[in-house]
Structure 1
Amino acid sequence: MTTLWQASQQIHSAEAHPESFTEAALSAASDINGEGKRVFLSLYAEQALLTSQQAGARWLAGKPKSAIDGLPVSIKDLFDVANEATTAGSNLLASAQPAQQNATIVNRLIQAGAAIVGKTNMTEFAYSGLGINPHYGTPANPWRRDEKRIPGGSSSGAAVAVSDGMCLAAVGTDTGGSVRIPAALCGLTGFKPSARRIDQTGTLPLSTSLDSIGVIAHDVRSCWLLDAVIADAPLTLSECDLTQARFAIPQTRVLDGLDENVSHAWMNALERLRTAGATLVELPLEALAELESMNARGGITAYESWQWHQQGAQSNPEAYDPQVLTRLQRGSLLTDQDAEALYQQRAAWKNKVEAELTGFDGMLMPTVPRVAPTLAELDNSAVYMQINALMLRNPSIINMLDGCAISLPCHQADTAPVGLMLASTQGKDAQLLSWALAIEIILIRGN
């Protein structure tokens, strides 16, 4: 499948026109036998095609707005689009007042000439890593689609839109893994930048202390290309030599409970990196064990999300997904004093972990410890909560660290998708993506 990076290169060399990519994306989105009706909550077919056609003329004139001018991308239903209600995958906001203006990232996409094909489905209010939505349906994972496996969340529609060719890349959000989890489960690449690199104005919040805006695409360069458009400043990538790399492999929590597929792909990926000359250091990083107690009562996410949802959850609880409502209500039990203690704990924990990671080029871990379960498996509420916590466990570490991370596909071809996560501390985004490029080459060669 053509990547965003490849499409940009083809247009630049006049081998293709942007309209062809947008037409293909819209065709996939409108296929009655496809997942489009569960992927998109709003489809902007006419406008996307017009945008792409106008971009084609600019490319022919040698005056494109950006490297992605006219190429099809999607946006998560958390971002304001002027004159539309931002529903965040909910029933509660279906009749909300329309947004008065676009979110900052939407304006940046428009300024870059991107063909925004539509708003993608998601876990209601982004409060789950599974991607299930009882209101609008759940897009099926591309892996063994007939088995109806979850796509991962909360940016569920974003991942399936990319995997099924309904766009070349997608913009999502990531508060505890909501870009990286669906990327890992769907065999894609998901990048969560340091939170403050991308302006979140016009983005419906989940937890303002942990929210970040990220991207999903087929490869590292495509993520970098889209990130460069929506971020406050583009990243400069450099060539990295894996024989000079020193990566930490945390030993606390992150390797617990790996299923057979993930364990095999994980060990195979590490062996390939060692063969390529990378130094891999097992690091106890015992501070990771502290997160369990910090989040035992819902943590910062529960407290902050309750501040936003308190009125709606109390006056109209039946409008919520029961699984989401249960998690939101945990925040009602946390006082301002509890929250202040959590913020202090987080700051101390962050300093401790950053100190232990000094001297490393990043840390490696499985993005999630198991492959995508079927929707049927999650009908039981207790199982839902158990697997949701498992999926969020590793990615959420990086949000608590306020760091950056990328999930790369590391499974063998024709096997269940598995993600390898490379992560680093705050502000190391350029170095992270540069190392990810080098790792990606090794993982691809292994296939």
Structure 2
Amino acid sequence: MRTTRDKLESILARLAGRADNERVFLKLYEDAARAASDASDARRQAGVSLGPLDGAIISIKDLFDVAGEITTAGSVALRDAAPATSDATVVRRLRQAGAVIVGKTNMVEFAFSGLGLNPHYGTPGNAVDPERIPGGSSSGAGVSVAEGTSEISIGSDTGGSVRIPAALNGIVGFKPSARRVPLDGVFPLSYSLDSIGPLGRTVQDCAFADAIMAGEELRVLDPYPLAGLRIGVPRGRLFAETEPIVAQAFEESLTRLSKAGARIVDIDIDDLVAEMEKATSRASIASVEAAEIHADWLDSKAQEFDPRVRGRIVLSATLPAPAYIRMIRQRDALIAAMDDRLKSIDSLVMPATAITAPPIAPLLADDQLYRQTNLLILRNTMVGNLFDLTGISLPIPGQERPVGLMLMARNGQDRKLLEIAASVERNFAS
């Protein structure tokens, strides 16, 4: 039987072979990971297990605190920050469950983009085509799982930053309901929108990691019956500018689910999406809250920021407090309206991203193209964050490039959504 230490050494050898051009990981924990893998192997030999993730090779995004080291959040601006005094809550819980944390993965600076580019540490190439974007902001996380240098990776999702890299790299990415997983020891992008979620090869792996991080009981998923499942398709503005390969894959998925007995219905949420867009027209919630988070160094360390990231934050730094408060109150009302709208269905379904992963080079050369592409990549997933939903992206099999199918459900229906996703995953594999 292959040991956990064997798995780990194989990964470390692979990473050592490309150490001169490493862009997926920003830091490795070789010694700690070896100790954790040996402990897991010893438990297994003694017939003891800490649970289903005992011995799982896991990576964490560069915004999670690890005791004794600086949390840089994909930036060079925090190089002189104080080291963390303790592990982030989710890191501690994963260690207690026997996970082997192999390293910290690369990310968009301060998690502020859906594309995955990082000028400081380099951009990880997509796992399927390294000339294309990995998706962000959990860029290294998506590539690591897809290429096999992690079995599970932990990311953050503020506008799609778990589901986008999952979709573009052909893996599973789960965003739980906000605040269900503790944010203690996690460098924030947006206090209102941030959530912590796993990326993995299977829905079950993501469900185990999610339960551990949320402090819930670990259970094997009971797939939700597809027969009679009420699936709502929000056709309209969320389907505009969809790349043909994505549109075709999506329609083929609906056909499969319908043949399995799911009831596919159109559901109109365009009015709510438009009202949310109007409520946040002066500035995005994430950019306003980021302006406060970075206020102490936004000007003094201006030259150390990615200009694309800093530019978006600066634009929102002068929004008056009454305007921000009104925006949050309007959002609360729209969240309630969306929750009411979704009571008639079990899940929303749409493409996770309107396009497959575009090439990196044109985005680096053209700031306007960067902004347009970023908005399009984020458009569908950020509905889940703005309306406080839970969501998951599943890979649609048999495509020329990875395409993600996104399922979303009402806040608090995380377990149900995972069970639905497990059924869809099983259907896709048949």
Work out whether the TM-score is over 0.5. Answer: yes
1:319 aligns with 2:304: yes
Secondary structure, in 3 states, of the residue corresponding to 1:313? coil
| Structure 2 Cα separation of the partners of residues 249 and 319 of structure 1 | 43
Segments of 5+ residues of structure 2 without an aligned counterpart are none
**Cα distance per residue 1:218-255 (max 9 Å; x no partner):** 11011112112211214653232111200111123211
| Structure 2 Cα separation of the partners of residues 34 and 158 of structure 1 | 19
Secondary structure, in 3 states, of the residue corresponding to 1:247? strand
How much has 1:153 moved relative to structure 2? Answer: 0.2
Who is 2:180 aligned against? 197
Q: Which amino acid in structure 1 is aligned with residue 318 of structure 2?
A: L
Who is 1:240 aligned against? 224
Q: Work out which of the residue numbers 20, 26, 35 in structure 1 matches 2:6.
A: 20
Please show how residues 269-348 of structure 1 align to structure 2 within 5 Å: 269-286=253-270, 287-348=272-333
Who is 1:156 aligned against? 139
Who is 1:176 aligned against? 159
| Structure 1 Cα separation of the partners of residues 322 and 301 of structure 2 | 27
| Structure 2 Cα separation of the partners of residues 378 and 48 of structure 1 | 36
Who is 1:136 aligned against? 121
Q: Which amino acid in structure 1 is aligned with residue 108 of structure 2?
A: T
Q: Which amino acid in structure 2 is aligned with residue 406 of structure 1?
A: I
Secondary structure, in 3 states, of the residue corresponding to 1:223? helix
How much has 1:102 moved relative to structure 2? Answer: 0.8
1:252 aligns with 2:260: no
| Structure 2 Cα separation of the partners of residues 258 and 235 of structure 1 | 38
How much has 1:359 moved relative to structure 2? Answer: 2.2
Q: Work out which of the residue numbers 51, 56, 64 in structure 2 matches 1:79.
A: 64
How much has 1:95 moved relative to structure 2? Answer: 2.1
Q: Which amino acid in structure 2 is aligned with residue 288 of structure 1?
A: V
Q: Work out which of the residue numbers 268, 274, 284 in structure 1 matches 2:252.
A: 268
Name the CA shift for 1:58/1:270 in 2 (closer, same or farther; >3 Å). same
* Segment drifting more, 231-240 vs 195-204: 231-240
Judge conservation of contact 2:33–2:102 (CA < 8 Å) in 1.
yes
Judge conservation of contact 1:70–1:113 (CA < 8 Å) in 2.
yes
Name the CA shift for 1:152/1:243 in 2 (closer, same or farther; >3 Å). same
Name the CA shift for 1:411/1:333 in 2 (closer, same or farther; >3 Å). farther
Q: Work out which of the residue numbers 373, 384, 393 in structure 2 matches 1:398.
A: 384
Secondary structure, in 3 states, of the residue corresponding to 2:155? strand
Secondary structure, in 3 states, of the residue corresponding to 1:315? coil
Judge conservation of contact 2:55–2:98 (CA < 8 Å) in 1.
yes
**Cα distance per residue 1:94-129 (max 9 Å; x no partner):** 221111111101111111121100011000000000
Judge conservation of contact 2:62–2:71 (CA < 8 Å) in 1.
yes
1:408 aligns with 2:391: no
**Cα distance per residue 1:147-196 (max 9 Å; x no partner):** x1110000000111111111101000000000000000000100001122
Q: Which amino acid in structure 2 is aligned with residue 30 of structure 1?
A: A
* Segment drifting more, 358-367 vs 289-298: 289-298
Secondary structure, in 3 states, of the residue corresponding to 1:130? coil
| Structure 1 Cα separation of the partners of residues 236 and 289 of structure 2 | 27
Judge conservation of contact 1:123–1:156 (CA < 8 Å) in 2.
yes
What TM-score comes out, normalization by structure 1 length? 0.93
What TM-score comes out, normalization by structure 2 length? 0.96
User: Could you list the runs of 4 or more consecutive aligned residues of structure 1 that deviate by over 4 angstroms after TM superposition?
Assistant: none
Segments of 5+ residues of structure 1 without an aligned counterpart are 1-14
Please give the root-mean-square deviation of Cα atoms over the aligned residues, in Å. 1.4
Please show how residues 414-429 of structure 1 align to structure 2 within 5 Å: 415-429=400-414
Identity within the alignment, %: 42
How many residues are aligned here? Answer: 427
How much has 1:342 moved relative to structure 2? Answer: 0.6
Who is 1:9 aligned against? none
Name the CA shift for 1:293/1:411 in 2 (closer, same or farther; >3 Å). farther
| Structure 1 Cα separation of the partners of residues 230 and 218 of structure 2 | 22
Judge conservation of contact 2:287–2:313 (CA < 8 Å) in 1.
yes
Q: Which amino acid in structure 1 is aligned with residue 89 of structure 2?
A: T
How much has 1:333 moved relative to structure 2? Answer: 2.8
1:30 aligns with 2:16: yes
| Structure 1 Cα separation of the partners of residues 42 and 215 of structure 2 | 27
